[in-house]
Amino acid sequence: MELKRQLLFCCISLLQLLHCRSEHSSIGFATVALCPDISALPSRHAKSKMLCGTACSAPTWTATCSTSPVRPDSATLATRPARDSDLRQRVRASAEPIAEQLSLKMLYRFGTHGLENAADPSKYRLWSGSATTIDAQGAHFVEDSNSFLMAATPCFEGFFNVGHKFSIFVRAKHPMNIDGTYMTMRECVGNKVSQDFYTYDRNFWHDMYWPPQPKYVLTKSGNVFTRSSSVALVSSGMTYDTNGAAHYFFNGSMHPAMMASPDSSGTLTNSRFQCIELGGYLKTPRYSVRGSMSCFAMSTRLLTQAEFVQLDNWCKQV
Ligand SMILES: *[C@@H]1O[C@H](CO)[C@@H](O)[C@H](O)[C@H]1NC(C)=O
């Protein structure tokens, strides 16, 4: 009995390993479910057309978007490509060159690409809570529990394990006195968060747990802006070397991170944080961005100041 159990565990571990390995390899043409081009969808659905579920949960569009609760709108089916090969071509055609240059796993420019990941349209397509709207200016968030964007990110948490490096970038517009969440890595169903990038009290903050260690680190940018209720444009980012230092990027300059609480033991025991959430925090309205986000990106290396500026410029091209 004991042996059987071990064998079974071993098989499951192997399967997970294989699954995660394929996540990291760079396959040019995977057969994927791809939503129709946003631009091809009927414009009177100005809001709902951006909901991934609307476009993709119909029988012909499976997998990537099936987690959305939204029912398909039959009108969107008309834009379905005729054959598999068309589908693959379109996947290839829409990957942006800057993604490879800056090692981006995620790149969203909502005004032009809707909820599609411009770094690799076959992965991490977002879906939208019902209170979030998208237009040419970007994704708009309000103080409402249904205001957020989410994507399933299977195996993604490996990019943040100890020994790795990563960077996050956000271009947003919001009042400068909010406690607003740009990004969390979280459980898809449960309410635990392993990582949190947000703005609060003149600082940008990053909160990180590593369940396997377990370890907990909270850093902040220092007072890089003043508290104000007027809406301002913000280009913010952070780089994180899990062996050491973090840096923050704000409106063109880099700032070394300040440790906001000493390294300590984490409290999380689970390591399955397989979703990303943007613009909101676990359906808690007071942590909404309360403004718009035009761009979001994540890289698997430390971006330089010049590279953040390059990314910011790419995000402006709308
Ligand atoms: C960031 O830079 C932009 C463009 O220069 C400016 O409009 C904005 O006010 C700045 N944001 C803050 C919070 O200072």
- The confidence score (pLDDT) of residue 23 equals 47
Could you give the CA distance from residue 252 to residue 250 in angstroms, rounded to a whole number? 6
Low-confidence residues of the chain: pLDDT under 70: 1-94, 211-212, 262-263, 266-267, 269-271, 318
CATH code matching the domain that covers 96-316, chosen among 2.60.120.200, 3.40.50.1110, 4.10.520.10, 3.20.20.70: 2.60.120.200
* pLDDT digit string, tens, across residues 225-249: 999 999 999 999 999 987 778 999 9
| Cβ–ligand 1 contact at 225 (below 6 Å) | yes
Q: How far is the CA of 235 from the centre of ligand 1 (A)?
A: 8
What residue owns the CA closest to ligand 1's atom 9?
Answer: 232
| Cβ–ligand 1 contact at 176 (below 6 Å) | yes
Name the residue ranges covered by the structural domains of the chain: 32-93, 96-316
What is each CA distance from 7 to 17, 18, 20, in whole angstroms? 15, 16, 20
Say what the pTM is.
Answer: 0.74
